Amino acid sequence: MTVTFEGVSHHKTRVNGVELHWVEKGRGPLILLMHGFPEFWWSWRKQIDPLSRSFRVVAVDMRGFNESEKPASGYDTTTLARDMRDLIDHLGGPAYVAGHDWGGIIAYQLATDWPDRVKKLAILNAPHPDAWVQGWLTHAEQQRKSWYVFFNLLPDFPEENYKAQFRNGTIRLARVMPPEDVAVYREAFEKPGAATATVNYYRELVKQIPERRHVTPGRITCPVRVLWGKRDIALDPVVNDIAAQWVGNMEVFYFPKAWHWIAFEKPQAVTRHLREFFGAE
């Protein structure tokens, strides 16, 4: 199954030692859109067109996903954030940045480590990485919701389990998306090397828990807007409360009836927020 999307151009470049694929549409100030697991650039399909009327929109396949390269290493948050830093530089940034799920985690890291690359940051159902660690350590509900992160530490079995979930329709995406959309993500997940590469995001995060328990992270100074589906079964809203201690200018908007995939579930509201927050004319 080939994904077609009218009006976007496809590009590849090597940054930080890895070849990344992205799509682009529009002219104006740069917006970088970063997807989550188990998705790819197409997860922003409902936002690309309306945003491109005022912005140069770039939606990336992150390291290990879809058409981007799938190396054996480099899935820690700092390396992944450096991928995005170098891509922004290649594109002539700085950029407005929006990230969902893993894209949001890495966007938080990017804004912490390289604040001059990020004008404003929009987060969709994603925790600050240190807030996730603190939430897991201190809040029972986040501990309960995080079981799958530690399941992903098992060798090989998580990859095969996710493939089976895609085949039998029990993958979490299927709770909110039609079968034809889930099939698109299945095809991307089953590309050679993709399953292990993408599950490695979780494996590397858990490795960082000891250092993140004690290290005080840098403070994010750019404006941050969080859009959050409150029916998320993997993330508790407490992570936003925890993140506020490291984010100087943060506003949170909750969507009581949305789950985890808010860009798909509430596309018009998400687009409206992004256009307003990033200053569309």
Q: Which residue has the tokens 């929006």?
A: 98
* 98 three-state secondary structure: strand
DSSP character at residue 27: -
Please list the active-site residues. Answer: 101, 202, 260
Average pLDDT, the chain: 93
Measure the N-to-C terminal CA separation of the chain; round to a whole number of Å: 36
Question: Tell me, what's the pLDDT at 254?
Answer: 98
Quote the CA–CA distance of 164 and 32 in Å, as a whole number. 32
Give the residues across from 254 on adjacent strands: 228
Segment 229-248 mean pLDDT? 91
The region of weakest confidence among 31-40, 137-146, 197-206 is 137-146
Which segments of the chain are extended strands (E)?
9-15, 18-25, 30-34, 56-61, 95-100, 118-124, 224-229, 250-255
DSSP character at residue 32: E
Domains and CATH numbers, the chain: 9-278 (3.40.50.1820)
pLDDT higher than 60, residue 1: no
Segment 229-233 mean pLDDT? 93
Q: Which residue has the tokens 């090597």?
A: 14
Q: What is the pTM of this model?
A: 0.95
pLDDT higher than 80, residue 253: yes
